A = this chain, B = another copy of it.
Amino acid sequence: MNAEIISVGSELLLGQIVNTNATFLSKELAELGIDVYYQTTVGDNEQRLYETLKQAHSRADLLIITGGLGPTKDDLTKETVALFVGEELTYHEESLRSIEGYFQRRKREMTPNNRKQALIVRGSTALSNHFGMAPGMVVSYENKAIVLLPGPPKEMKPMFKNELVPHLTKLLGEQVSSITSRVLRFFNIGESQLETELMDILEAQSNPTIAPLASDGEVTLRLTVKHPSEAERLRLLDETEEQITKRVGAYLYGYGETTLFEQLFLQLRQKGCTIATAESFTGGKFSAALTSFSGSSEIFRGGTVSYATDVKEKVLGVSKRVIDEYGVISHHCANEMATCAKETYQADIAISFTGVAGPNPQEGKEPGTVYISIAGFATSPLSFELLLGGGREAVRERAMKYGCFYLLNELKRWNKSE
Pick the contact of A18: B20, B102, B357, B392 (CB < 8 A).
Answer: B20
Q: Mark A296-320, 1 if CB is under 8 A from B, else 0.
A: 1100111111111001000100000
Inter-chain contact A306/B311, CB cutoff 8 Å? no
Q: How far is the CB of A254 from chain B (nearest CB, A)?
A: 15
Q: Report whether B211 and A16 are in contact in the complex, using a CB–CB cutoff of 8 Å.
A: yes
Contact B71 A102 (CB under 8 A): no
B18 x A18 contact (CB < 8 A): yes
- A294-B395 Cα distance, complex, nearest whole Å: 12
Q: How far is the CA of A39 from the CA of B106 in the complex (A)?
A: 39
Assembly CA distance A224 to B306 (angstroms): 44
Q: How far is the CA of A30 from the CA of B390 in the complex (A)?
A: 29
**Contact-residue size bin, chain A (C-beta under 8 Å from the other chain):** 35 or more
Cα(A154)–Cα(B308), bound, Å: 29
Given A23-B18, A191-B72, A301–B307 Cβ distance below 8 Å? yes
Whether A300 touches B315, Cβ cut-off 8 Å, given contacts A14-B26, A192-B111, A294-B359, is: no
Q: Which residues of B contact A212 (CB under 8 A)?
A: 72, 74
Give the residues in chain B near A36, CB-CB below 8 Å: 13-14
* Cβ-closest chain B residue relative to A154: B394
A281:B292 contact, CB within 8 angstroms:
no
Could you tell me if B392 and A294 are in contact, using CB atoms closer than 8 angstroms? Answer: yes
Is B191 a contact partner of A70 (Cβ separation < 8 A)?
A: yes
| A20, A38, A39, A358 pick with most chain B CB within 10 angstroms | A39
Establish whether residues B43 and A40, one from each chain, have CB atoms under 8 Å apart when the complex forms.
no
Given A292-B392, A390-B154, are A311 and B345 neighbors across the interface (CB < 8 Å)? yes
* A282 sits at the interface (CB 8 A): yes
Bitwise, A9-39 to B at CB < 8 A (1) or not (0) is: 0111111111110111111111000001111
CB-CB under 8 A from A345, the residues of chain B are 308, 311, 315
Contact A282 B288 (CB under 8 A): yes
**A131 on interface, CB distance cutoff 8 Å:** yes
A125 to chain B, nearest CB (A): 24
Asked if A393 CB lies within 8 Å of chain B CBs, one says yes
Q: Report B-chain residues with C-beta under 8 Å of the C-beta of A393.
A: 292
Residues of B within 8 A of A43 (CB): 37
Chain B neighbourhood of A19, CB < 8 A: 18-19, 22-23, 39
- Taking CB atoms, residues of chain B closer than 8 Å to A195 are 71-73, 113
Is A124 interfacial (CB-CB < 8 Å)?
A: no
Q: Which residues of B contact A335 (CB under 8 A)?
A: none
Give A159 to B300 CA distance when docked, in angstroms.
40
Alpha-carbon distance A131/B192, docked complex (angstroms): 17
Q: Is A277 an interface residue when CB atoms closer than 8 A count as contact? A: yes
Chain A 70-113 near chain B by CB (<8 Å), digits 1 or 0:
11111000000000000000000000000000100110000101
Q: Shortest beta-carbon distance, A157 to chain B, in Å?
A: 11
Residues of A within 8 A of B (CB): 10-20, 22-30, 36-43, 45, 48, 52, 70-74, 102, 105-106, 111, 113-114, 131, 152, 154, 191-193, 195-196, 211-215, 220, 222, 277, 279, 281-288, 290-292, 294, 296-297, 300-308, 311, 315, 344-345, 357-360, 387, 389-394, 396
What are 23 sample pairs from A and B whose C-beta atoms fall under 8 A apart?
A12-B23, A14-B36, A15-B25, A15-B29, A16-B213, A37-B48, A38-B40, A40-B40, A70-B192, A70-B214, A72-B192, A74-B212, A113-B195, A277-B305, A283-B284, A283-B288, A283-B300, A292-B393, A292-B396, A294-B359, A301-B307, A303-B304, A315-B344
Shortest beta-carbon contacts, A-B, top 6: A15-B27, A284-B284, A283-B291, A15-B26, A284-B287, A39-B41
15 more CB-based (< 8 A) A-B contacts, given A10-B211, A284-B305, A292-B393: A12-B22, A15-B22, A16-B220, A18-B20, A19-B19, A22-B41, A70-B214, A72-B192, A111-B192, A131-B390, A284-B286, A291-B307, A294-B360, A301-B308, A302-B305
